[in-house]
Amino acid sequence: GENVEQHPSTLSVQEGDSAVIKCTYSDSASNYFPWYKQELGKRPQLIIDIRSNVGEKKDQRIAVTLNKTAKHFSLHITETQPEDSAVYFCAAMSSNDYKLSFGAGTTVTVRA
Amino acid sequence: GAGVSQSPSNKVTEKGKDVELRCDPISGHTALYWYRQSLGQGLEFLIYFQGNSAPDKSGLPSDRFSAERTGGSVSTLTIQRTQQEDSAVYLCASSLTGTGSGYEQYFGPGTRLTVT
C-alpha cells in the first residue's frame, strides 16, 4: 500500500515569512495529492490539491509542487498570517485502490 | 447545501460496551470513507464504500469494528466490546466519486469517542 511521509512535524515561522512542508510517497500509481488544513477542534478542510498531470498549482498565497520522478510534493505558504496557524496534512491517492493515505501532519505556528 | 453530518458529536462509553456512530454524507456522493484520528495524530483509514461495490475494509483494526451503508447513503460504524485504545475522533468523509483521478473528500465534524 501507499506510505506517505511528511516533514517537518512542527514549524514555527514569523508572520510574513514563508512556510514549506514536504511529503514523499511510495506508490508510483498515486495520481492525486490533496492538502488539508485542520484547525484545533475542527474538521480537516481541503486547501489545495494537485493531479499528476501538472507540476505546480497556485491559489493566492498557497502553492503546491509535485515531482513525480522523485515521488515528492510540497506545500508552500507565502506571506504567512496568524490565521494560517493549524495542522496541515498531505495525502496521496493511488489509482490502484482510490484510498487517501495521509501524512502524520505538520503543526504550523505563525508568530505575530 | 448541507455538508457531511455525524452523530453523536461526543460519546462516552464504558469498556466492553458496543457503540454505533452515524454518518450522513452529502446527497449524491457515491463514495464514503471512515477514518480514525487519535489525539495529536494523523488520519488512519478504516473503511471505504463506493456505490454498490463491496466495501474496502482493509483498514479496520480488528473484527470488533464493522460498518455498513444502507441504500447508498447513511453509514453506521459499529465498535463492539469497546477498549480504551478505541478512544479517538472518528471522522467520516464523502466524495462525489471515489474512482477516476480522485475527487475532493468533504469531512464531517467527527465523533469524539471516549472509552472509560
Nearest to A98 among B41, B98, B107 (CB): B98
pLDDT of B47 over the 70 cut: yes
Q: What percent of chain B has pLDDT over 90?
A: 75
pLDDT of A96 over the 90 cut: no
Query: Alpha-carbon distance A79 to A75, whole Å?
Result: 13
pLDDT band, very low/low/confident/very high, at B1 (cuts 50, 70, 90): low
Where do the DSSP E strands lie in chain A?
4-7, 10-14, 19-25, 30-38, 45-51, 56-59, 62-67, 72-77, 86-94, 100-102, 106-111
- Hey, are the CB atoms on B110 and A43 less than 8 Å from each other? yes
Nearest to B109 among A43, A97, A100 (CB): A43
Query: Alpha-carbon distance A92 to A2, whole Å?
Result: 8
Q: Which residues of A touch B108 (CB under 8 A)?
A: 43
Average pLDDT over residues A16-39: 95
Q: What percent of chain A has pLDDT over 90?
A: 85
Nearest to A31 among B44, B59, B102 (CB): B102
Q: How many CB atoms lie within 10 A of CB B68?
A: 12
Q: Quick check: B21 and B112 in contact, CB under 8 A?
A: no
Q: In whole numbers, what is the pLDDT of chain A averaged over residues?
A: 94
Query: Alpha-carbon distance A33 to B47, whole Å?
Result: 19
Q: Which residue of B has its CA nearest to A49?
A: B104
- Hey, are the CB atoms on A102 and B33 less than 8 Å from each other? no
Nearest to A99 among B48, B104, B106 (CB): B48
Average pLDDT over residues A14-37: 96
The pLDDT tens digits for B23-33 are 999 998 989 99
- Hey, are the CB atoms on B102 and A105 less than 8 Å from each other? no
Query: Alpha-carbon distance A82 to B26, whole Å?
Result: 31
The pLDDT tens digits for B59-107 are 999 999 999 998 879 999 999 999 999 999 999 999 987 665 557 899 9
Q: Which residues of B touch A32 (CB under 8 A)?
A: 101-102
The contacts of residue B110 (CB under 8 Å, 6+ apart) are A43, B6, B9, B37, B89, B90, B91, B92
The C-alpha cell at A62 is 498557497
Nearest to B103 by CA among A63, A5, A31: A31
Q: Quick check: A43 and A86 in contact, CB under 8 A?
A: no
Closest approach of A81 to chain B, Cα-based (Å) = 23
